[in-house]
Structure 1
Amino acid sequence: MDKIIVFILPVFVVLIGTEFAYGWFRQRNTYRLSDALSSLSQGLISQLLALVTQLFQIGLYVVVFNALTSTPNVKFWDTWYGWLIAIVLFDFFDYWLHRAGHECAVMWAAHVVHHQSQHFNFSTALRQESTVLLIGWIFYLPIAVIGVPPEQFGLAGLIVLLYQFWIHTEHVGKLGWFDRVFSSPSNHRVHHAVNDQYINKNYGGMFVIWDRMFGTFAEEEEPCVYGTRTPLRSWDPGWAIFAEYWSLVQATRQAKGADKWRIWLNPPGWRPSGSSEDFHADIQAESSAPAFDLDAAKRLHGESVAGGAAIFAVVQFALMMGATAIYLWYAEELSYSTELGLTAIVVAGLWVLGAYLQRRVSVIPVILVDLAGVAAAVLMFRA
């Protein structure tokens, strides 16, 4: 599975370049370098952390499958309709995981990473979560109970995930009947928007019929404004992952009694009545939240990166992407301790890239972190 990702990476790069070129030619560019590199860094981090959390990725699914399925019906699942059913099942339960990710605060803390970009393009599609797997695996266990083999479950999930790449674009309009059945660019723009009428809508990964069935569908009407209602305003990949958790921890410290756990389980933004903490409305804000300023949400974070700084940032990211690809290719042959070490090295390289984009460090610290990473990797393989 990891080697499949290696083959897919250059395809993603070509498609991102094609979308950027098309937008530039049409004078409707939807990219900003800092934002795109931040999103792509989150994609690499999610793959790196997936390598060292296989227990949650597929391990617990295998445990349940083996415990409940003594004689797997391999012939049925190997048919074309078996594969179709497996994909539909994955998408159905993924709908509920996705919905929980917007309607439960602790789940939103994991999922929010995917929504932090103020742009909507192919790089946004790769801005994947890194911590949702710690809880999300529970939602897929019914598929194991039904008897879908683990390998097929993994491939069905990959198919659903890859499908969602192309729907992250502003360059494809409405598609008629297709929009009524499948998740499409129009439907998914709604999902990423912070406009009032678009909140908590269009969760479907491959099929939008789940949203129509369960009352979470909204048609794209007015122009979409992207991001989160509480903006991240940072290119730091670590802060992007943990900012919402930190907000929950801070709120928990001020809460009393049962409210301490209600803060984590209630909708995002919920706070006990009379809380001394300001109410911060996020994507799922309740009706009691203060009025949301859509015009303020249109203001973009950070200054543009250009010239030599832009070239250096792109080179740094390319090095980290290359290191990740090599790591993924040989991952099956590495010990777990080596995987942990290599994951830390590449994440450090991506973190210092975020600090550089944030203008907290200069070129020299970035190069020093890279050299330290190379030295650490060499020592690991010699040990």
Structure 2
Amino acid sequence: MNTQELIITWATPVFFLLIGIELLVAKLRGRDAYASSDAINSIGLGVISQLVAVFTKLLSIGIYAWCVQHFALLRLPVHSAPVWVGALLGYDLCYYWLHRMGHEVNILWAAHVVHHQSERYNLSTALRQTGSGALLGWIFYLPLAILGVPVEVFVVVALIDLLYQFWVHTEQIGRLGWFDRVFCSPSNHRAHHAVNDRYLDRNYGGILILWDRLFGSFVEEDGTDPPVYGTRSPLRSWNPLWANAEVYWRTAQDAWHAQRWRDKLLVWIKPPGWRPADVAARFPKPAFAMPGERYDPPIAVPLKFYVLLQFALLLGMATQFLGMAGSAALPVLLLYAAYQLAGLCVLGAMMEGRRWAWWVEGLRVLATAVLPLASGHWFGIGHLDGRTASAFVLVFGASALALPWLRASSLGASQRGECMTAGP
């Protein structure tokens, strides 16, 4: 486990503690801040981003290190306070432009959109991160490499910039006076996440909001026009794979349907929402209208507790995955990541009410109960002792046995809801 993964692992309990405090404060104020399905989806997408990051270090850090070695104009010392301060400011400026281009260039938006898909705004939204951002995001930090910012410094200031942005994703903190004029704050970032005309594509700063004031992209939150969250093409799904692939897929469809080769390219680099005229004419989309209801399919209480339990188990496995990332063989890591991704997708499908999800989840928990006991192994663990193997059998075997009852209770709750809707 590298330094960045170690810090994120240790920071995770703090994140959940703060989420719990935010939830409690919202309850005491009588505010509807959280929905379990939305929070699970957001945190699950954060888990996936961390799983993917294990395999994309070459892009996120490796290319940067190579450029420092071959193209750096200066050899800046690691143990220098001005270097650290300058690197943090420089990183935040580079992040501003990456973030801004993520809203102005469609292929970059395809990655960044994941962070904006939630129709709620709370601390779990901060953990909602893309799995594909590393594909092109590294390009924007190359100026720091050319200036000679050491890799060690770059990694730490990147983490500082990322961790800072966690706390600004909340509606429970109001305006902060002078702080709002200098730094990215909850008020400033609420405006950034809104789809209202007033706020759209503004306030890109990570730590400093001064960049937005300097480059003309700042807007102040207005109490008479409360932010409405989400995207102008709502996701309306709890499938984390679709959340990451949605814009890529729709853009690829438009590129395929475009008649001119020029438009096949432009659809990727134009602003989000741009479509070739011939494609828009043949495959029209409805005009944007401010959303009325949030996407939140009903879920029976017993099923909700089941999903929360399985999600907590997958979070524990993700922590183990990060711990073994530096020593395990690549095929093992790929297989373990695929197992966790499949688990998150199935839980999302269950929250959506997909019938096939019950059978797939049954196979998943049965396999997780039986295979460790039969083989005596688990990912990253060469030999399971009897207690650990028995724990797998007990937890996941009980989960498999509970599924038929959960399905019956969920169908009953659904039918009662339909009867109430159809009643006089």
**Counterpart among 34, 39, 42 of residue 42 in structure 2:** 39
The Cα shift of 1:331 comes to: 1.4
The Cα shift of 1:302 comes to: 2.6
Deviations 1:244-282 (A, max 9, x none): 11100110111122100000010111112243344558x
The Cα shift of 1:69 comes to: 4.0
Gaps of 5+ in 2: 384-424
Give the aligned partner of residue 349 of structure 1: 343
Over 3 Å counting, the alpha-carbon distance change for 1:59 and 1:279 in structure 2 is farther
Give the aligned partner of residue 330 of structure 2: 336
The Cα shift of 1:356 comes to: 1.1
Gaps of 5+ in 1: 282-289
1:1-383 correspondence to structure 2 within 5 Å:
1-69=4-72, 72-74=75-77, 77-221=78-222, 222-255=225-258, 256-275=260-279, 276-278=281-283, 280=285, 290=287, 292-294=288-290, 297-361=291-355, 363=358, 365-372=360-367, 375=371, 378=377
Is the CA contact 1:230–1:280 (under 8 Å) kept in the aligned structure 2?
no
Over 3 Å counting, the alpha-carbon distance change for 1:246 and 1:104 in structure 2 is same
Over 3 Å counting, the alpha-carbon distance change for 1:228 and 1:149 in structure 2 is same
Normalised TM-score (structure 1): 0.92
Over 3 Å counting, the alpha-carbon distance change for 1:40 and 1:277 in structure 2 is farther
The Cα shift of 1:364 comes to: 5.3
* Higher RCO, 1 vs 2 (CA within 8 Å, ≥6 residues apart): 1
Over 3 Å counting, the alpha-carbon distance change for 1:206 and 1:246 in structure 2 is same
- Partner of 1:197, secondary structure, is coil
What amino acid is aligned across from residue 31 of structure 1 in structure 2? Y
Is the CA contact 2:240–2:345 (under 8 Å) kept in the aligned structure 1?
yes
Is the CA contact 2:38–2:296 (under 8 Å) kept in the aligned structure 1?
no
CA distance in 1, matches of 2:332, 2:16: 28
Normalised TM-score (structure 2): 0.83
Is the CA contact 2:74–2:147 (under 8 Å) kept in the aligned structure 1?
no
Give the aligned partner of residue 390 of structure 2: none
CA radius of gyration, larger in:
2
Instruction: Say which is worse superposed, 314-323 or 265-274, in terms of deviation.
Output: 265-274
Sequence identity percentage:
44
Deviations 1:41-86 (A, max 9, x none): 0000000000011111211111111112498332xx4223321111
What amino acid is aligned across from residue 357 of structure 1 in structure 2? M
CA distance in 1, matches of 2:34, 2:239: 18
CA RMSD of aligned residues (A): 2.0
Deviations 1:292-347 (A, max 9, x none): 322xx131113243521111111111011000011111211112222212111111
Is the CA contact 1:269–1:279 (under 8 Å) kept in the aligned structure 2?
no
What amino acid is aligned across from residue 355 of structure 1 in structure 2? A
The Cα shift of 1:240 comes to: 0.6
Residue-pair matches, total: 370
Is the CA contact 2:73–2:147 (under 8 Å) kept in the aligned structure 1?
no
Is the CA contact 1:235–1:357 (under 8 Å) kept in the aligned structure 2?
yes
Deviations 1:70-110 (A, max 9, x none): 98332xx4223321111111110011111111001111111
What amino acid is aligned across from residue 68 of structure 2 in structure 1? F
Is the CA contact 1:30–1:119 (under 8 Å) kept in the aligned structure 2?
yes
CA distance in 2, matches of 1:64, 1:57: 12
The Cα shift of 1:208 comes to: 0.6
What amino acid is aligned across from residue 293 of structure 1 in structure 2? A
What amino acid is aligned across from residue 108 of structure 1 in structure 2? W
Over 3 Å counting, the alpha-carbon distance change for 1:279 and 1:83 in structure 2 is farther
What amino acid is aligned across from residue 263 of structure 2 in structure 1? D
